[in-house]
Amino acid sequence: MPPRLGALLAVLFWGVSFVATKAVVREISPITLIFTRAGLGTALLVAILALRRQNALPPRDALLPLAAMGFVVLASTVNWALYTVLGHATIRRLGPTRATAGAMLLGWLMLLPPFAARAGWNDYARLSPAGWLAVLFLGVACSGLGYLFWYGALERVEASRVAALLYLEPLVTLAAAVVLLGEPVRPTTVLGGLMVVGGVVLVQAARGTGRPGGAADRA
């Protein structure tokens, strides 16, 4: 997959995730949702590694940075930039699939104590069919594929270009809210959205610095 297409798909998943989350937390607790989402994402990434006949367990000397990455995912809305910088070297060393799987697995294990403390498994009985679909979307698409696509792009394209695509995420969320929740759109919102899109296009069209991924970015 072309790296920018993968990053755009990740942004699309994450933009819609806010609407899906809003629907699911009406039925289950946030802790149960986060725990289940991380578990599904981890299972998907481990399955991909198994199909590729790659070892899903990270090397011992990578456990500390991966654990730190897993912890920062837990607060990704605040610390996304830190996560990106922190994980860049480890991702280039282990590859995006193995590094993302390791970080997500360790982050999921950190969620076990609060999940068990409130007996979160009891929440599953309250999920409607639509709620289960939303949980699967959040776990498989947003956590599993989203992080995999994002770091696959970061491995091959300059970090500044990939990070600029995140500015499209609120526009995706707005579009999903309009379609799925019937929320209104004002002319000023449309104007602001066009300005954001224009800025992202300018960043993607600017001459690169030749840094990660160098030739892959220019190809």
pLDDT in tens, 34-57: 889 888 988 988 888 888 888 777
Q: Tell me what pLDDT residue 6 has.
A: 85
Q: Is 84 part of any domain?
A: yes
Q: Tell me what pLDDT residue 156 has.
A: 78
Q: Is the pLDDT of residue 99 over 70?
A: yes
Cis peptide before 213 (omega within 30 of 0): yes
What's the chain's average pLDDT?
79
- What's the structural domain count of the chain? 1
Q: Is 92 part of any domain?
A: yes
Range of the domain at 42: 3-157
Q: Is 192 part of any domain?
A: no
Q: Is 146 part of any domain?
A: yes
Q: Is 194 part of any domain?
A: no
Q: Is 179 part of any domain?
A: no
Q: Tell me what pLDDT residue 136 has.
A: 92
Distance CA 108, CA 104 (A): 6
Q: Is the pLDDT of residue 132 over 90?
A: yes
Name the pTM for this structure.
0.68
Q: Is 12 part of any domain?
A: yes
Q: Is 67 part of any domain?
A: yes
